[in-house]
Amino acid sequence: MKILVFVKQVPDTTDVKLDPKTGNLNREGVESIMNPLDANAVEAALRLKEKHGGTVTAISMGPPQAEDVLKKALAMGCDESALLSDRVFGGADTLATGYVLAKAAEKIGDYDLLIFGRHASDGETAQTGPIVAAFLGIPQITLAETLDIEDGWAVATRSTEDGSEKVRAKLPALVTVCGEINEPRYATPINIMKALKKPRMVWNHGELDADPAKCGIPGSPSVTKRLFEPEHEHVDTVLFNGDEETMAKQFVDMLEAQHLI
């Protein structure tokens, strides 16, 4: 079985500032990590490989430093990696990103299963995985909390408002996973050393046979007109001391003083 797992490099903090001139996120000086839910996707892929056999290829689109998250995926146990890096890919929205990732899957070929994290922590759109499935014309399962392969089908359970449901999709298929699906493993020192010897490809738009008009900004129909930080309100904090009855009385007295009751 050939599994492709997709990972993204994201900022390791919520304290990312905006560039007032460009309106874009200013990530300078902010450490980057593997998107947390993508680590769950890698773990899901590795567990399927250990149970059913096969290979796992980790794929990421980004600048050269995105190689760091692929190194982590290799150290966790993936067999090879592919970095999709080209200035042509810059500024891509989820549609243009999905197009490039789908071209990478087509270049690799003969895949059985594609696995994504549910969403990226820096965007939270949950669109990229489904977009890739649409470009490839394959079935998809989203928000999977369990995942296995049975007789050529991807079988998963998903939570719903009324409980849970069990669904399946004929391979080849794409699945997006939730954090509840597993606990990602840590890379061991020996696997970190092994990762240095594993195949690592770097592909640009030409090597992917990707149309530049469908990549990056030209291929992105969605446009962000303006980004801004909300105003931060500073309010006084009142601490109550004493037993429950005393604190309750202090709280009521404060509300009365502010004419709220």
Q: Kindly report, residue by residue over 90-119, the tens digit of the pLDDT.
A: 989 999 999 999 999 999 999 999 999 988
Q: What is the mean pLDDT of residues 120-147?
A: 92
Per-residue confidence (pLDDT) for residue 53, from 0 to 100: 96
Domain total of the chain: 1
Is residue 254 situated within a structural domain?
no
- Alpha carbon distance 124, 128 (integer Å): 10
Residue 199 lies in a domain: yes
What distances in angstroms separate CA 257 from CA 195, 247, 252, one per listed residue?
Answer: 65, 15, 9
Model confidence at 17: pLDDT above 70 = no
* Dihedral sign (CA 220, 102, 166, 39): negative
| H/E run at residue 200 | strand 200-203
> Which comes out higher in pLDDT, residue 10 or 13?
10
CATH number of the domain at 42, please: 3.40.50.620
Per-residue pLDDT at 226 exceeds 80: no
pLDDT score of 116: 97
Predicted TM-score (pTM) of this structure: 0.82
* 74 domain-assigned: yes
Residue 65 lies in a domain: yes
pLDDT digits (tens, 9 = 90+) for 75-86: 999 999 999 999
pLDDT at 13 > cutoff 80: no
- CA pair distance 101, 103, nearest whole angstrom: 5
Mean pLDDT of the chain: 90
On whether residue 138 sits in a domain, the answer given is yes
Find the range with the poorest average confidence among 17-26, 231-240, 247-256.
Answer: 17-26
- State yes or no: pLDDT of 1 exceeds 80: yes
- What pLDDT is attached to residue 129? 94
Domain span at residue 16?
2-214
| Residue 226, domain member (yes or no) | no
- 30, pLDDT greater than 70: no
Looking at residue 97, its pLDDT comes to 95
pLDDT of residue 42: 97
Q: Does the pLDDT value for residue 126 go beyond 70?
A: yes
26 has pLDDT over 80: no
